[in-house]
């Protein structure tokens, strides 16, 4: 029942999503305001301004992300009044919810909903000019770095069995599958690295799982192996739920590449040495 409630609540962000004539998704700020339990437009505007500043600091074009529009609304007695609003991209919504109070349940759900797809898209777009093989090499390098950081955070939190800890994350993201289950499904050889045998999209899913788990363990000052494993599972499950909400491909349904990362590294070393 708990997961059904979470999925229902996350659907509210899908329900207020709009698609323009060119097939591009967007959200209206005033509709988002209501979902996030803001009562006054002026207060929400201040949050939007902070989000716009963050957008500018990230070197994004603010106007492209936050498009100001006007709408006519009924105010009674057959009278209409023009009010200001914003058409927001997913990234703009992501920045807004990051500036809201995370203690509010609706905001916490919004942070998860907008963060997952936004971050995954950022990872993939960062390397969009590269071939699939090059994307895999780049993202795999990131996962190694972030996994090292996560391991240190987990150990500091009291985790002694890192295999158990990482399996908790995989179980959340892969619908109960452990690392061994995933390796068997991919028909990998004994001790062959699982992450070395993922495509760029599956790697991006796992990179986000790793980064978000590390962030939550630190932010919430998690102590103890049991609680750390619980958090890792919850993060993986949240990412899976949101992929499902967005109609994306589940990580276990993504194809396993023909070549492993080690084979690609050898290939590109030889190529660069020519």
Contact 167, 179 (CB under 8 A): yes
Contact 195, 136 (CB under 8 A): no
pLDDT digits (tens, 9 = 90+) for 25-45: 899 999 999 999 899 999 999
Residue with tokens 């660069």: 272
Q: Mean per-residue pLDDT for 245-250?
A: 82
**Res. 7 pLDDT band, cuts 50 70 90:** very low
Is residue 8 over pLDDT 50?
Answer: no
pLDDT at position 119: 66
Q: Mean per-residue pLDDT for 241-265?
A: 89
> In angstroms, rounded to a whole number, what is the distance separating the alpha carbons of residues 206 and 120?
10
Q: Mean per-residue pLDDT for 161-184?
A: 97
pLDDT at position 76: 64
SS3 32: helix
pLDDT at position 123: 66
Q: Mean per-residue pLDDT for 118-142?
A: 80
Is residue 4 over pLDDT 50?
Answer: no
Q: Mean per-residue pLDDT for 180-187?
A: 96
> In angstroms, rounded to a whole number, what is the distance separating the alpha carbons of residues 218 and 197?
29
Task: Tell me the H-state helices in 157-197.
Answer: 162-173, 179-185
């Amino acid at each position: 029942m708990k997961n059904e409630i979470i999925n229902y609540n996350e659907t509210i962000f899908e329900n207020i999503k709009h698609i323009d004539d060119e097939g591009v998704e967007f959200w209206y700020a005033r509709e988002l305001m209501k979902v996030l339990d803001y009562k006054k437009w002026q207060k929400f505007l201040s949050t939007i301004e902070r989000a716009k500043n963050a957008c500018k600091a990230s070197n994004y074009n603010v106007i492209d992300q936050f498009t100001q529009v006007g709408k006519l609304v009924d105010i009674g007695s057959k009278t209409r009044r023009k009010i200001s609003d914003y058409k927001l991209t997913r990234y703009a919504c992501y920045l807004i919810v990051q500036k809201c109070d995370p203690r509010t349940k609706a905001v916490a759900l919004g942070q998860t909903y907008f963060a997952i797809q936004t971050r995954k898209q950022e990872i993939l777009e960062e390397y969009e000019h590269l071939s699939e093989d090059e994307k895999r090499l780049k993202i795999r390098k990131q996962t190694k770095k972030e996994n090292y950081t996560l391991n240190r955070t987990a150990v500091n939190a009291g985790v002694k069995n890192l295999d158990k800890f990482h399996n908790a994350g995989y179980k959340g993201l892969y619908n109960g599958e452990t690392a061994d289950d995933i390796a068997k499904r991919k028909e990998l050889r004994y001790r062959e690295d699982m992450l070395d045998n993922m495509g760029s999209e599956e790697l991006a899913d796992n990179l986000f799982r790793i980064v978000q788990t590390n962030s939550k363990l630190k932010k919430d000052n998690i102590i103890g192996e049991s609680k750390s494993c619980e958090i890792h599972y919850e993060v993986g499950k949240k990412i899976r739920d949101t992929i499902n909400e967005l109609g994306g491909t589940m990580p276990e349904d993504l194809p396993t590449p023909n070549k492993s990362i080690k084979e690609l590294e050898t290939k590109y070393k030889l190529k660069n040495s020519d």
